[in-house]
């Protein structure tokens, strides 16, 4: 009987070592845009052809009418929406 009591702490230590790690905490959402759209609002009203003279350091997506786009959120991606005449109507991050 004494042997069982002697093995009890070792068994307890073994069982606690096998416990899974706690789940990571929630990921905090950062809603602040990081694509620079705030500095490019002057593009609204210009023709989409004017973009060829510019250089962009971030991912860029030009969205034409009826074009299918993904709904994933990427705060570093610059989105430029144009109308049927090729005029830029909206500039935002997503």
Predicted local confidence at residue 91, as pLDDT: 96
Q: pLDDT category, 29, cuts 50, 70, 90?
A: low
**What is the average pLDDT across 7-31?**
67
Q: Are strands 60-63 and 78-82 parallel, antiparallel or unpaired?
A: parallel
Asked if the model's pLDDT at residue 11 lies above 80, the reply is no
Asked if the model's pLDDT at residue 7 lies above 90, the reply is no
| CATH number belonging to the domain at 44-94, selected among 3.10.450.750, 3.30.950.10, 3.30.10.10, 3.40.50.720 | 3.30.10.10
């Amino acid at each position: 009987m004494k042997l069982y009591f002697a093995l009890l702490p070792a068994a307890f230590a073994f069982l606690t070592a096998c416990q899974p790690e706690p789940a990571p905490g929630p990921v905090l959402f950062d809603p602040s845009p990081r694509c620079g759209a705030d500095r490019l609002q002057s593009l609204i009203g210009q023709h989409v052809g004017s973009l060829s003279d510019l250089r962009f350091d971030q991912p860029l997506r030009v969205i034409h009418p009826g074009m299918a786009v993904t709904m994933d959120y990427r705060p570093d991606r610059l989105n430029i929406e144009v109308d049927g005449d090729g005029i830029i109507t909206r500039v935002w991050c997503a």
